[in-house]
Structure 1
Amino acid sequence: MENILLLEYLCQEHTNLTDEEIRTIEDISRNLPLIADLNQANVFIDCPTKEGKYAIVVAEAVPTTAKSVYKNPVVGKFAYESFEPAVFFTLRTGKNMFLNRALTQEGRTVEQSVVPIKGVHNQVIGTLIMEKDISEKLYHQDKMKALSEATETLSEILIGMTTDRPIIPEVIEEALFFIDPQGSILYYNPAAINLVSEVCSTDCTFGAQIETYFPCLKDVFYSPEELLVTELEILRKSFQVKKISLGQKAEGTFIIFRDMTELREKERELVLKSVAIREIHHRVKNNLQTVASLLRLQMRKGVSEDSKVHFIESLNRVLSIAHVYEIILSNSSVDDVEIYSLIEKIGNMLVYSGDVEHKDIKIKYSGPILTVKSNKAVSMALIINELIQNCMKHAFVGRAKGSIEVSFGVTKGSLFLSVTDDGVGYNAAAIPSLGLDIVKMMTEHDLSGKFSIRSNDVGTIASVKFPIERE
C-alpha cells in the first residue's frame, strides 16, 4: 500500500499523467515482484517528467531469486538520457528495446530491456524496464578475449624462438621474459636486456631467477591467475606488468613489462591542471559574489530612485556571469556549461527574486540537453540576462500579469535562442536601450552571430543565432 501511495505522489508531483493514466501505472506496478522473480532481474517503471527533460522512477521490484543490481532503492530518482538512451528512445517512439547495454546510477553495466506502457489513447505514459547485471559477464568476456589474443601472439613468438628467428619479440617495445615453472629465465628480448641493465645495473643472463632482478614480482609470478595484469613501481617508474601462464603443456610463463611512466605523469599533470582550473573558477565566482555584495551594500546605504535601477541591472549582470561558474563547479567537467540550467537560474533570479512591482509574471523554458564552453557561456549569460530583463522592464507596462518563454536548440550547426513575451509589443522608434546594445554587440563580436527583435502576434520575440564550433 505504501508503494502505491508513493507511486501516486511521484506521478502527481513530477509528471503530467492524468488520474486514469496513474491508475494504469499502479495496476502494472502490482505485478512487478512476480516479473522480477520470474526473470531474476530488477524491474522498474519510469515515467517522463513534466518538462520532458528527465524520467523519474515511480516503482521498482527487486528479485528474491537473484542478486539485486542496485545496493539502494531508486524509486524517486531521476533517469538521464546519457545513461539510459533506450528508455528515452521508447518514451519518444513507443518502440521496444531488448538486450540494450546501459550504465546504472551506481556505475554498473547492465543488460536492459524496455517496453512502452500506453494509456487509453495509445500514447506512451511510461516504460517497463528489466535490468540484469552483466559486469561479471563482461569481465570474463574481456579476459577471454585478452587471453585469446595473447595465445595467438605467443604462438607466433614460440614459433620464432624454435626456428631461431625471434622476429616479433625483437621489435616490440615491451620487455619480454619467458620463465620456467621454477622462475628461471629461458628467453628475453632486447627491451628486457635494457630494463635489467637500467634497474639492476647488470647484464641479463639465461637461467637466472627473475626474482633476482625484480623481487617485487614474487606475488605476481606465484599468483594462481593464468592471466594477470597489474601495475608496479620500480625505481620511481611505473610499469604495467602482464603475467601469461601457458598451462601445464607449455610449462612456462611470459612476463611482459610496459613502461607507463610518461603516461602516468601526463595523467597527473592533467589532474593538477583540472584542479587549478577549478580553483580559478571558484575564485572568479567568489569575486563576482563579492562584487554583487558590494552593490547590494551600496543600495542599502541609500541611492536615488533614478540610480537604483542602474544598480539592479548591474547586479543582475554580475550574478548572471556568476551562475556560469556555479554550474561549472557543480559538474565533473572543468569547462562545460549546461545551457538549460544556466537559462533556468538566470530566468528564475530575474522573475521570482527580482523587483517585479507585484506583477504576476510566469516564465517557462524549453530546449535539449546541450553544453557550451565557458567563454561562450559567459556571453550567453549576459545575453539571456539582458533579454529577460528587457521583458520585465518594458513588456508588461500597465499590465498586472504576463508570461515569458525562453527556448533554444540547434539547427544546421548553429545554436538559436529566443525570448518571447505576450506583452505590449516592440516599438522600434523607442529610445535605444543599453541592454539591447549589449546583446547586439556580444552576439556579433563575441559569438559571430546575429540578433533580431520584432513584434509578433501577441508580444515581442527576440532571437539570437550563432555557429557552434566543434571543439
Structure 2
Amino acid sequence: MADLAEVLRRHTALEPADVEWLHLLVGEWQLLADLSFADLLLWVPTADRQGFVAAAQIRPVTSQTAYVEDKVGEVIQEGRRPLVDRAWHEGRIVREGDPEWGSGIPVREEAFPVRHDGRVIAVIARHTNLAAARTPSRLELTYLAAAADLATMISEGRFPFPGSPAESDSSPRAGDGLIRLDAEGRVVYASPNAVSAFRRLGLTGDLVGVHLGETTARLAPPEGLVEEPIAWLVSGLAGRDAEVEVEAHGAVVRLRSIPLLPGGQRLGALVLLRDVTELRRRERALLSKDAMIREIHHRVKNNLQTVAALLRLQARRLVAGEARAALDEAV
C-alpha cells in the first residue's frame, strides 16, 4: 500500500505546507474514526483538478468497517462522488443522500472539507456501516457529539492543533477512557474506564459535575516547579492539545486534553485518559535491571583491571623468559 507522502507526490500539486498539514491530520484521525464509529477516506484533488485521489484511509476500532478493500491510491473523476464534490466546491459539511450499498452492506456517507490557511485543500469522506447500527448508549452519543465537533473544527481549519504532542505507545485513545468537559472545565460525562482510572488516583466521590483540572491537581499535586499548571492543561484552558501524566496512590494515569472550539467558540474539552500504571512499573523494572547490569559490568571490569595489573607486576619479577611470555599473553 502506498503511503500518504508517495500518493500526494505522484497525484497532486499541493504546497509543502498543505502536505505537512495533511500529515498532521492523518496522524490524529484515528480518534475521529473511533468517535464516529466510521471509516474515513481522505480525498485530495488531482494535479489536473479533474478528480480526486484517495490519499489515506483509516478504519474504526470501535465498530465494524464499511470497506474491507483498501482504497488508497484510487483515482476518481469529478462526479463519481457527489458528496465529495459538494464538500469541495461548497466548503461545508454535506450529510444529505441515501445510504449506498457496498458488498451487501448499507453505508451512510458524509463529507466535509479539510481547510488550511483559509483554503479547502482536501475532503474527508466518512462512511458508517449501518448494518452495525443499534440504539446508541450515553457513551456512544457522547462519542458522536465529540466527533461532530472535531469534524466542524477540521472543516474550519482549527484541528489538528499545530505542535500537538507526538503519539506514543502510552498515548490514550478513546476506548481507554473518555471525559467530556463543559466550557467551565466541569465533567459532563465520564466513561466507566475514566471513572476507574480516577478511583485508582484516590477519587472517592462522583466524577460528574466536578472541575476536572482542580480535582486532578488535588489528587496528584505536581512535585517541584512546573512550566504550566496541571489544572490549566487538563481543563483544556490552554487552548491547545496537551498531554500530562499524573501519579498518586501508586497509580499512574496519562491524560490528553483536546479543546473543542467549533465556530471559534469554546464549548469545552475532550479528555482522553489511560491507566499506565503497569506500563510504567515494567519500564522502571527494566531501568533497574539495566542499572544493575551496568554496575556488574563496571565491577567486573575493575576486577579484571586489578588482575591484569597484578599479572604485569608478577611478569616484571620473573626471570624465566617462557613464564614471562605466558603472563604477557594472559594480560
TM-score of the superposition, structure 1-length normalised?
A: 0.33
User: Which is bigger in relative contact order (C-alpha 8 A, separation at least 6)?
Assistant: 2
